[in-house]
Amino acid sequence: MKTTTIPNALSALFLLILTASSLAGEPVYPLKVSENGRYFIDQKGDPVFWLGTTQWQLFREYKLEEARTIIEKTKAKGFAFAQVMLMGVGDGTKPNIHGEKPWIDNNPLTPNEGYFKNVDAVVQIARENNLVISMTMFHQRYRNYITIQNARAWAKWIAQRYQTVPTIVWSMTPEAKPEFAPLLRELAAGLREGDGGYHLVTFKPDPAPHPAGFLHEEAWLDFSVMQTWKWVEAIYPMVTLEYNLKPVKPVLMGEGAYEQGSEYGFEVTPLWVRRQAYYSYLAGAHHAYGHNDSWRVLPTWKQALDAPGATQLGILKKIFLDRKEWWYLVPDQAVFASGGTTNGQVLNLAARHKDGRWVMVYLGSKASFSINLNKLTAGSTVKAFWIDPRTGESVAAGRFTNAGVNSFSTPDGWEDALLILEAMR
């Protein structure tokens, strides 16, 4: 094992590769936050839809070609973001699949070049695929090694190493307790010193659920991330609390129940996965998905990349991108004249375009309800259609004037449903 020195710069060749131009038609990173604080934009100013997946062990537990398979499959499914722990799950000292530990003598100030060369290679594959890695460079389980005394220097080193890599977001995972605040501030300061503010910085408290607004007002915190673990009923109230905090910042529901998860006491089905995601987006947040077999690196991890939930979240992304100016979504339960539900595990939620161009209604199960059509103010006529979240199949639901109330019932045989209403001139 070879020790690097702090600070360390990438070779000129590696920098050149990593800063190559983006793939045609793809967002140009790094990300920034929109002017209104609600969503993310690329360097062209174009909105970027945050649909993430979770691959905590990507840097540590996979061979390079396996990591390539994961990244390419992930991107093909429609995910543009992957959550990864830099030192993997655990206390930060375990070796990677090649036997290389992250640090010499378990000291973050003497990083092991052998470990980070593998990280470099995986980061490069993600860059080639225009997949953004939300890189967790501190976890509360690393606390015995990353401390208040060395946090800033550690963070500065890692930020300098990847200072010109556009496809990175920095993340940290503390407990939501006051004693972690000084450490987070040191880490954030080191990141800013290391990359000059090139990348967004956030954190996701662990375990869940955590108090809304923990350190929300910190100037270095670019957006809020929350997790709800198995409590799907916590998504709407937690997102709503975070969404309404000041100053306004984007909200990411970063971790819920993993598809086919083994620790919750119930089966996490594709329907459960869809509910978590639609509840997040229609409450005004962004969303990240995970599969049990991926983060646990089970023998079935490769099959999990094609799991039904993952495929159906790719359908979700297309549904949102098909809405004109999807980024101007405003949660609005007053869209319902009757039948809206915001409490419990099975919800009926609504959101609309800020100027009344469209309304999206998600029904978590079979439902009958009614809609205030006057929410569609951008035209005098309303076109309505159903979308099956499992398949993306669309079925006409009629045309109406944008006045009064109209009743609807979800199509027979559907587990859940989307109703889209579009204003027509």
What's the pLDDT score for residue 23? 59
* pLDDT tens digits for range 283-325: 999 999 999 999 999 999 999 999 999 999 999 999 999 999 9
pLDDT at 216: 97
Residues forming a β-bridge with 394: 387
What is the architecture of the domain spanning 328-424? Sandwich (2.60)
Backbone angles phi, psi at 375, to 5 degrees: -75, -15
What pLDDT sits at residue 25?
79
334 contacts: CB under 8 Å, gap ≥ 6: 372, 375
Which of 148-178 are b and which e, b meaning 16 or more Cβ less than 10 Å from the residue's Cβ? Answer: eebbbbbbbbbbbbbbbbbbbbbbbbbebee
pLDDT of residue 273: 98
Residue extents of the structural domains in the chain:
12-321, 328-424
Fold of 12-321: TIM Barrel (3.20.20)
pLDDT of residue 24: 63
Residue that has been written with the tokens 């954190």 in this structure: 203
- Are 388 and 414 a contacting pair, CB within 8 Å? yes
Mean pLDDT per 10-residue segment, the chain (425 residues): 46 40 77 98 98 98 98 98 98 98 98 98 98 98 98 98 98 97 98 98 94 94 97 98 98 98 97 98 98 97 98 98 98 98 98 98 98 97 98 98 97 98 95
Q: Hey, do 12-321 and 328-424 end up sharing a CATH topology, with the first three levels equal? A: no
pLDDT score, position 107: 98
CA dist 162 and 196 (Å) reads: 11
Say what the pLDDT of residue 10 is: 41
> What pTM value is reported for the model?
0.94
Distance between CA atoms of 207 and 231, rounded to whole angstroms?
12
